[in-house]
Amino acid sequence: MSITGPRTLWDGIPVSVALEPEARREVADEFVEFSLDRFGSPDFERHTLSKREAFFDRYDAMAKPQWSGPLLDSSEFRALVTGAKPLDHADPLMSWLARATRTHVAEAWAVRHHLRTYPFSRAAVTGGRPSPLDLMTLQELYHTRMFVEVVRLFGLEFSLPAPPRALQVLIRLASRTVSHTSSSIATGIAEVIGSLATNALAHEAEELLVDHPATYEVVRTLVDEVFIDEIGHMTLALNTFDRRQRVGFRLAMPGALKALALTYYRGNRAGAAIVRRGYADFHLGLFPPQVLAQAFVPSVLLHSPRDGGAP
C-alpha cells in the first residue's frame, strides 16, 4: 500500500517549525480568520456555524446512492462498535465502519466533556472575537454528525453509545490536566494522531469501496470535511507550542503511538503502519492534496525552509 502517492507540491513542507511568541500569536490570529471565513458566523449559544449548517441543508436535500453491496446488520455493527464482538474476524467493511465510529464515539464524548470543564470563552459568547480553541471545539461538534451520515449510507441505523468507562476516565484526566488551550500537549497529540488515523481510514475506504464509486464519492466528501478540519487543528496546535510544550510533545508521542497500536489498531496492521510511518516521516505531503488545499496551513510553513518536519 502506498502512503504518499505521487510527489506533490506539499512534499517536503514541514508540519511545524519552532516559532517565537509573536509569530505564534500570528498563527493563532490566522486560524481565527481562516475559520470565520471557511465556516461562517459562529453561534456559541446554539453550537452552530452558519456555513456548516448550510452544508448539512445541502447534504440532507441531496439524493444518496443506494448501497449495492452486501446487506450489513445493524445489531452486529453495534456489537463491533461497543466491543461486545471482536473486530479481528469481522468483514473488512464492517470493521472499517466500526473503527471509524469508535473514534467518533470517543471524540464526541471528549468534546462534550471538554465543554463542561472549559466552556466557550466569555468573549465568544458575548459576540466578541472567539479564541482558536472556541472555534476548534465548535468545528469538532460537527464531526460526529458527519460520521453518523457515513454509517447511514450503508443502511445501518445506530445511536452513539458512551465510550468504555476506562476511556472516559482517561479523557477526564487529560482534560483536567492539560487540554484547556489549543497549544496544549494533549491537544497536539490528539490532533496529530487524529490526522494520521484519518489518513489511514481514507486510504482504506478507497480500497474497500473500489466497486462502489457512487457511495465512495459521498463517503469521501464527508471524510474529507472532517480531515480538512483535523489538519488545520494539527498545524495550529504544533505551531503554537512554546519550547517546553514542543519538548513534552516529542517525549510523549512515541508512547502515544505505541498505546494506539496496542489498542485501536490491534488486528489492523496496515492502519497501524500508515500511522507509524507517517509520524516517522512527518511532512504535509503525507496528506491528500485536495484536503491540504482547503485546510488551514499557517503561512509561516509555506515560507519556511523545506527541511523535513519533525515537530
Residues that bind Fe ion (CB under 5 A): 140, 143, 230, 233
Cβ atoms of 174 and 168 within 8 Å: the answer is no
Query: Of the two residues 204 and 230, which places its CB atom closer to Fe ion in the complex?
Result: 230
Closest contact distance (angstroms) between CB of 191 and Fe ion is 5
Closest contact distance (angstroms) between CB of 187 and Fe ion is 8
Query: Of the two residues 90 and 223, which places its CB atom closer to Fe ion in the complex?
Result: 223
Closest contact distance (angstroms) between CB of 143 and Fe ion is 4
Amino acid at 209: L
Closest contact distance (angstroms) between CB of 179 and Fe ion is 11
Closest contact distance (angstroms) between CB of 2 and Fe ion is 25
Closest contact distance (angstroms) between CB of 136 and Fe ion is 6
Query: Of the two residues 95 and 182, which places its CB atom closer to Fe ion in the complex?
Result: 182
Query: Of the two residues 102 and 233, which places its CB atom closer to Fe ion in the complex?
Result: 233
d(C-alpha 184, C-alpha 109), whole Å: 19
Closest contact distance (angstroms) between CB of 166 and Fe ion is 21
d(C-alpha 94, C-alpha 76), whole Å: 9
Q: What is the DSSP letter of 90?
A: S
* Residue spans of alpha helices (H) in 40-178: 50-61, 74-82, 92-117, 122-125, 132-152, 165-177
Query: Of the two residues 224 and 230, which places its CB atom closer to Fe ion in the complex?
Result: 230
Angle (CA) 231 292 38, round 5° = 75
Q: What is the CA radius of gyration of the chain?
A: 19
Burial of 66 (0-12, 13-18, 19+ CB in 10 A): exposed
Query: Of the two residues 90 and 174, which places its CB atom closer to Fe ion in the complex?
Result: 174
Cell numbers representing residue 126 in the block: 458575548
Cell numbers representing residue 292 in the block: 491540504
Cell numbers representing residue 177 in the block: 490536566
Query: Of the two residues 78 and 233, which places its CB atom closer to Fe ion in the complex?
Result: 233
Cell numbers representing residue 240 in the block: 503554537
The owner of cell 471524540 is 107
d(C-alpha 187, C-alpha 297), whole Å: 17
